[in-house]
Amino acid sequence: MASIISFLLVIGVCVIVHEFGHFLTARLFAVQVHEFAFGMGPVLMKRRGARNVWSLRALPVGGFVRLAGMGEEREDETVEEGAGFYDKAPWKRFLILANGSVSNILLAMLLTALFLYGNGVMDLSNTIVGETMEGYPAIAAGIREGDRITEVNDAKVSSWLEMSESIRNAAPRGPVRISLQRGDETMSLSVSIRPDENGHALLGIRPALRRYSPGEALTSSLSYTLTMTVEMLRSIIHWITGDEKVDVAGPVGIASMAGEAARRGLWPFITFLALINLNLGLLNLFPFPALDGGRLLFTAAEMLTGRRLPERIENFIHMSGFVLLIMLIVYVTWQDIVHFFIAR
């Protein structure tokens, strides 16, 4: 149940933010909006606002926005003169189409910045102990949070990775001498570290967290987003070419990961929500028919050539892409079911 609720929350936030990006930009360029729907399926309730209908649907799986001129209007709907989507200049349509994905990417950046500011990340640049773990030698040896480890077997260490490597190499040879700084006091401890079931010699400590200032958090979130964008493009290329095995999660896999993130706490859930928003934003920009990226490609071609592809042909291409996407989603979902329920 936790996985289902977490999944619906993640998908709801991602889709509503995406559609709201389309909605706001459409309103900015005076495109008539017929309806903004929360959820899918039958209408539970609706309210007519000053310029569009707001509706609540039965299935809590995202939502949608209906713009005038992008499909067949209903019998009770009229399109104001010049207010249809295709009445606007191509560059305006381009921005309307793009700003759904841009909204997801911006939300991912803000959530990442919030995580860096509110929770922080493990600081591996020093050897300050941020947490001691139950059942491991550190607590029995007297190591406390806030201690700074300075030497391992009389060899100076200055970073977390250097310290970890030194302990891992020294542990099989017997008790490890650890020197640490606690306030103004210097201490030396002898710690016996036995390998765990995987053969790893673990002292049982975690690094201290480094919290970022608001400015640092925003700057670092931009850097992180750019890095993840490059990695995602690499993964898509490898997946298409088959050069490397790439794990692709469908709805079942995402629900499982959403539930696990929620069980781990608020901050893990926020980072997961940021990651899904980034993935949704980038995937929707992929130039494939039926996706925003496919429509952007046609709009860009119109901007360059001054001519729009005949509506009947463009609609056929997008419908073909939609069918292929549905087939892909069914395949990935089946793979998820096999992985999570059948293969176990």
Q: How confident is the model at residue 244 (pLDDT cuts 50, 70, 90)?
A: low
CATH value of 122-210 in 1.10.645.10, 2.30.42.10, 3.30.70.2970, 3.10.640.10: 2.30.42.10
Q: What is the percent of the chain where pLDDT is above 90?
A: 26
Q: What is the pLDDT of residues 19-28, one digit of tens each?
A: 999 999 999 9
Q: How far apart are CA 323 and CA 235, in angstroms?
A: 23
Evaluate if residue 2 carries a pLDDT over 80: no
Q: Residue 34 in contact with residue 55, Cβ under 8 Å?
A: no
Q: Characterize 8-34 residue by residue with b for buried, 16 or more Cβ atoms within 10 angstroms of its Cβ, and e for exposed.
A: bebbbbbbbbbbbbbbebbeeeebbbb
Q: 170-174, 205-209, 265-269: which range is least confident on average? A: 170-174
- Scanning the structure block, which residue is given the tokens 């793009």? 98
Evaluate if residue 3 carries a pLDDT over 90: no
Q: How confident is the model at residue 108 (pLDDT cuts 50, 70, 90)?
A: very high
Q: How confident is the model at residue 243 (pLDDT cuts 50, 70, 90)?
A: low
Q: Characterize 194-230 residue by residue with b for buried, 16 or more Cβ atoms within 10 angstroms of its Cβ, and e for exposed.
A: eeeeeeebbbbbebbebebeeeebbebbeebbeebee
Cα 200 to Cα 126, 165, 168, 190, 286, distances in angstroms = 22, 11, 8, 19, 42
Q: 146-150, 161-165, 302-306, 332-336: which range is least confident on average? A: 332-336
Q: What is the pLDDT of residues 54-71, one digit of tens each?
A: 998 888 888 889 898 887
* Domain spans of the chain, in order of start: 88-120+213-342, 122-210
Cα 47 to Cα 51, 78, 132, 164, 214, distances in angstroms = 11, 18, 55, 60, 39
Considering only residues 141 and 245, tell me which one the structure prediction assigns the higher pLDDT. 141
Q: How far apart are CA 270 and CA 290, in angstroms?
A: 29
The average confidence (pLDDT) of the chain is 86
Evaluate if residue 96 carries a pLDDT over 90: yes
Evaluate if residue 344 carries a pLDDT over 60: no
Q: Which stretch, 157-161, 174-178, 245-249, has highest mean pLDDT?
A: 157-161
Q: What is the pLDDT of residues 178-230, one digit of tens each?
A: 898 998 889 888 888 877 666 677 888 899 888 889 999 999 999 988 888 88
pLDDT of residue 245: 67
Q: How far apart are CA 256 and CA 131, in angstroms?
A: 28
pTM more than 0.75: yes
